[in-house]
Structure 1
Amino acid sequence: MYVNSGRELIILKKNKSQSPGLRWCEYVFDIYLGLLLSAFILICAPYENILDVKYGLFYGICGGFIIVMTLSVIELLFIKQLKMADLLKKLKDNKWMIFLIVMYLVSTLISGITSPYDYDYMTGFSRNEGFITQGIYMLTLLFSCFFGRIKNWHIYLFGAVCIVFSLLCFVQVAGYNPFMLYPEGYNYHDAYVAYSGEYVGTIGNADLVSAFLSMASSLFFALIFTEKGIKKTMVAIFFTFSFLALLLIKVAAGILAFFAFLLLFFPLYAYSKHKNWFRRILTAEVIVIFLGVIIFYVWDFGKNGTFYDIHLLLHGNLTPRSGSGRIHIYSQVISKIPDHFWFGTGPDSMAMWELEGFSKYIESLGQTVTRGIDVAHSEYLNILAQQGFISFIFFVALIIYCIVTFFKEEKNIKNIVLVSPAFAYLIQAFFGFSMCLVAPIFWTFIGMMTRKKEDEQNETVM
């Protein structure tokens, strides 16, 4: 921190007038964010048990954060260390967010209660994405908006974690099995052959790993433009490891999300720093998009994956059985939506729909393997199908509110850095799905992104 600057003295004076209660709440958030960006990511188990371990961490870290924060606010109000006026101001400033959160949770609860299936909608059927998990997501968003800010030590801790995470991915893709995360005798390259799915890193599911790495890569890339000297070198190293790991696992959704983030980042950066470059960058981006369309039209991307789906779409040859299988999944899910249009069948209930699985020929096995469908492979479609149109509307409205709130704030570089991981996640969510292994990181960042500018009190923020 620059203690000799006049601006620093002003900030310190402002902090001095801040109530002890608010400082305590922000301290609790600091600890939570540190745990989320380190222990939550790195602690894992063999892949057959990883969801149970991560779900326990999710409850312990995110659920514990919500409980501690709630009890802290109540006690601080009682002992008059937190001014009721400060709390009421936060509630008033974020009244529309609170309204949308409440309505989303109420409609999700109704979805579970009215479900045609007899299952525990509070925890969910197959992916632990039931009502309780949705509630933790929403309260994490709210408290992050109220008290969240990211500090330099969070960034460097997260960067170190991403280096460790990426190194593990490199070793696994090389064919090794450190820590026996795969069953004995198997490795990364046995995906879809010896076992269902593709697993890597300390998160497991490759789609979720891609979502995580797209967020990390976007954050560190944006930081390269804010830091100087050794700090710039450090975040550049963090970015290099994260981005190489993202490319190495070859999940198109995360790669697409990162490059889509760049299309947002450069105009915002130009607007905040060099307004005379704003139109030039927009013009360049139009050219890049045009060239991208040509590339997708000409190249078939090995006739596999999400990029191949886009290639087929541009040729008008997209059929339910073509491409990565997502089109088949989408068509199956969409065909069932009218049956329970308004409130769906309950959160995390799709595994009970008995949808026609997707068949794929595995050349190494010499046979066709059929995989069942328990998730829509599009977070937005997933909510529409499982929780119904009402929940979907409130969910989309909440996301739009957060984005609009961000754009109403001054476009300084710090705000742009905070939006980076959230935006990357929202893009990959068109082709991915929500699970507690990664989603809490997104909800925390989008909460910090939405925090009002006048609430920023701490001089150690980036």
Structure 2
Amino acid sequence: MINLKLKANTASFSERVTDIYVFVMLFAFPLFTGFEGYSEITLSKYIFFVSASALWLVLLFAAALKKKMSFNLKKLDLVEVLILLFTASCCVSAVFSSFRSSVLLGEGRFDGLVTILLCAGIFFGVSRFGRVKNSYIYAAALAVSINCIVAVFQILGYNPLQLFPGSYDFYDAGREFSSIFLGTIGNADLFSAYLCLILPLICAFYISAEKRPLILLAPAFLCSLCLFKSGVSGGILALSATVLLAAPFIITNGERLRRALEVALLILSSVILAISVKTAETADAVTVTFSFSRACIIVLILIFCAAAARFALAKNDFSRKALRLFFLTASGTLFFAGLAAAYFWKGDKGSVYELSQLMHGNFDERFGSSRILIWRKTLELVPEKLLFGGGPGTLALRLDVDFSRFVEETGKTLSSSVDNAHNEYLGILVNTGLVSLAAYLAAQAVSLVRAVKCAARSEFCCCFACALLCYWIQAFFGLGLFLVSPLMWLCWGLLVSSFRREKSHLSENESVLV
């Protein structure tokens, strides 16, 4: 009896400590900036991430030793097997790397083997001991709300939390320093990646939850506003693609359709605010102006259509098959309409113009903030070490791409060196090789296929799958750094935990029926 009691307490301890860790990562980690603001935000967040994750994993390991738990490959989920293969191939890459002194921490921004192993540990620990709950969504929503409020004040010319050093502010980007910084994440691309993870999480939960969580509409509005106001094209594209891909599978009845229309109204309202309100710094003040453009008219028409549909369908219900057919058709139509609009685009600047030029076969290495150049240079390195790459976090040692620009306004020359592939998948390929990339992509595919099967039954499968899908799409243009990626791995672990719970629930129902 004593042994049984000890085992029960140890098991509950693992779940409790994992519960605390999930809250810490979803709420505290995104908001923690250290004590030096943006000047030391990368190091500060890394210390937080490593300390919190290592302590949690040590506690889990101690609990496992106390229970005398053994590692059994046969009990692993297929996604877990693929992630294990990914992690093992990264370790092989590190062992055979020509830059062994650099593979642990990485020569980029702490993207070495230590980060990879900790992220894998997060995935396995959360998938095994995590128990998905509504409060996780609310913790993430509260953190992102605070983050977005900070970003809004920065756009208005303020310096909340004194994140910018000295007298600098948001509008000194491109004049005093190269990158744009927003919120408590830092780099605008990473801020966009964070929003791409949390915004779909909140919206999908609002649509699929048993009871309508109206309070989540506020953080969803803030997220959407900041995403569109940040102007990060990769994030906006990822959100748009996620809507088209996910709608046929999460909108399965009349109630979900009505909630989806409410979310659409919210996002469209944030879009019209983002594109119509212009801010600019003049002298020592920031001016706010309102500009009603053709794009605003289009968005207003969409808002009217969504509102009309919401009230017209107030009490209607539809079969899952009919809704899926409708949204598959609508998504396909909108996708090809978008491609056609981009192909015939008449503008001469911006992301849509660049896409149009690429569709016409006009390649310019400056497109995508010079991503075309960075990708080409990175791809040239891949054949050198195809299977296992150059080693975790070693691209900075192999890539020779520098940028500089003279700023007439300040008389300064801004310079930067590229230490990242600006594409997470390409980064995996060049750093840890084809084997790791294949395992990673296979794990993604298996996860999404399973999520589609249980999206109608489980709100947690639905919301975590949407969050991951949006993040994985923006990852094609993203940096993939630890400032956001651990949250992706945590959500992935919670998704697999949801699969396990759903499978157990179905087995119990089958037993009752028998």
- What's the counterpart of residue 72 of structure 1? 63
- Which residues in structure 2 correspond to 1:111-190 (within 5 Å)? 111-117=93-99, 119-190=101-172
CA shift for structure 1 position 422: 1.0
**Could you tell me how far apart the structure 2 residues matched to 1:452 and 1:30 are?**
14
- Which residues in structure 2 correspond to 1:228-307 (within 5 Å)? 232-271=213-252, 274-275=319-320, 276-299=322-345, 303-305=349-351, 307=352
- What's the counterpart of residue 423 of structure 1? 469
- Which residues in structure 2 correspond to 1:192-211 (within 5 Å)? 192-211=174-193
Amino acid at match of 2:13: W
CA RMSD of aligned residues (A): 2.7
Preserved contact between residue 208 and residue 250 of structure 2 (Cα < 8 Å): no
CA shift for structure 1 position 40: 0.6
**Could you tell me how far apart the structure 2 residues matched to 1:25 and 1:356 are?**
46
Q: For residues 302 and 442 of structure 1, do their structure 2 counterparts lie closer, same or farther at Cα, with a shift above 3 Å needed?
A: farther
What secondary structure, in the 3-state scheme, does the structure 2 residue paired with 1:325 have? helix
Amino acid at match of 1:249: S
Amino acid at match of 2:380: S
- What's the counterpart of residue 351 of structure 1? 396
Q: For residues 101 and 220 of structure 1, do their structure 2 counterparts lie closer, same or farther at Cα, with a shift above 3 Å needed?
A: closer
Q: For residues 164 and 25 of structure 1, do their structure 2 counterparts lie closer, same or farther at Cα, with a shift above 3 Å needed?
A: same
Instruction: Confirm or deny that 1:442 pairs with 2:488.
Output: yes
Preserved contact between residue 206 and residue 251 of structure 1 (Cα < 8 Å): yes
- Deviation per CA, 1:319-375: give whole Å up to 9, x if none: 223442100111111112112222221111111124233466767568985532111
Preserved contact between residue 111 and residue 387 of structure 1 (Cα < 8 Å): yes
Match of 2:52 among 41, 48, 61: 61
TM-score, length basis structure 2: 0.77
Amino acid at match of 1:260: A
- Deviation per CA, 1:399-445: give whole Å up to 9, x if none: 22333343454632412112121111111100002111111110111
Preserved contact between residue 350 and residue 373 of structure 1 (Cα < 8 Å): no
Preserved contact between residue 177 and residue 414 of structure 2 (Cα < 8 Å): no
Preserved contact between residue 304 and residue 324 of structure 1 (Cα < 8 Å): no
Preserved contact between residue 124 and residue 348 of structure 1 (Cα < 8 Å): yes
Instruction: Confirm or deny that 1:101 pairs with 2:79.
Output: no
- What's the counterpart of residue 29 of structure 1? 18
CA shift for structure 1 position 278: 1.0
**Could you tell me how far apart the structure 2 residues matched to 1:301 and 1:31 are?**
50
Instruction: Confirm or deny that 1:338 pairs with 2:383.
Output: yes
Q: For residues 100 and 303 of structure 1, do their structure 2 counterparts lie closer, same or farther at Cα, with a shift above 3 Å needed?
A: same
**Could you tell me how far apart the structure 2 residues matched to 1:323 and 1:238 are?**
29
**Could you tell me how far apart the structure 1 residues matched to 2:432 and 2:470 are?**
24
Q: For residues 162 and 452 of structure 1, do their structure 2 counterparts lie closer, same or farther at Cα, with a shift above 3 Å needed?
A: closer
Preserved contact between residue 328 and residue 358 of structure 1 (Cα < 8 Å): no
Instruction: Confirm or deny that 1:432 pairs with 2:478.
Output: yes
Equivalences, count: 430
Q: For residues 437 and 211 of structure 1, do their structure 2 counterparts lie closer, same or farther at Cα, with a shift above 3 Å needed?
A: same
Instruction: Confirm or deny that 1:379 pairs with 2:412.
Output: no
- Which residues in structure 2 correspond to 1:301-320 (within 5 Å)? 303-305=349-351, 307-320=352-365
Amino acid at match of 2:418: I
Amino acid at match of 2:147: F
Gaps of 5+ in 1: 1-17
TM-score, length basis structure 1: 0.85
CA shift for structure 1 position 203: 0.8
**Percent of paired sites with the same residue:** 29
CA shift for structure 1 position 227: 4.3
What secondary structure, in the 3-state scheme, does the structure 2 residue paired with 1:371 have? strand
CA shift for structure 1 position 193: 2.0
- What's the counterpart of residue 271 of structure 2? none
CA shift for structure 1 position 215: 1.3
Preserved contact between residue 29 and residue 45 of structure 2 (Cα < 8 Å): yes
CA shift for structure 1 position 388: 1.7
- Deviation per CA, 1:21-69: give whole Å up to 9, x if none: 5443322221111111111111103112001110011112222222222
Q: For residues 340 and 296 of structure 1, do their structure 2 counterparts lie closer, same or farther at Cα, with a shift above 3 Å needed?
A: same
**Could you tell me how far apart the structure 1 residues matched to 2:172 and 2:448 are?**
40
CA shift for structure 1 position 93: 4.0
Match of 1:326 among 371, 374, 385: 371
What secondary structure, in the 3-state scheme, does the structure 1 residue paired with 2:238 have? helix
CA shift for structure 1 position 176: 1.5
Preserved contact between residue 224 and residue 232 of structure 1 (Cα < 8 Å): yes
- What's the counterpart of residue 5 of structure 1? none
**Could you tell me how far apart the structure 1 residues matched to 2:58 and 2:145 are?**
31
Gaps of 5+ in 2: 1-6, 257-318, 506-514
Preserved contact between residue 214 and residue 425 of structure 1 (Cα < 8 Å): yes
What secondary structure, in the 3-state scheme, does the structure 2 residue paired with 1:225 have? helix
CA shift for structure 1 position 270: 3.1
Amino acid at match of 2:18: F
- Deviation per CA, 1:362-401: give whole Å up to 9, x if none: 6756898553211110000001011122222222223223
Preserved contact between residue 175 and residue 188 of structure 1 (Cα < 8 Å): yes
Q: For residues 395 and 226 of structure 1, do their structure 2 counterparts lie closer, same or farther at Cα, with a shift above 3 Å needed?
A: closer
What secondary structure, in the 3-state scheme, does the structure 1 residue paired with 2:329 have? helix
Higher mean Cα deviation, 374-383 or 406-415? Answer: 406-415
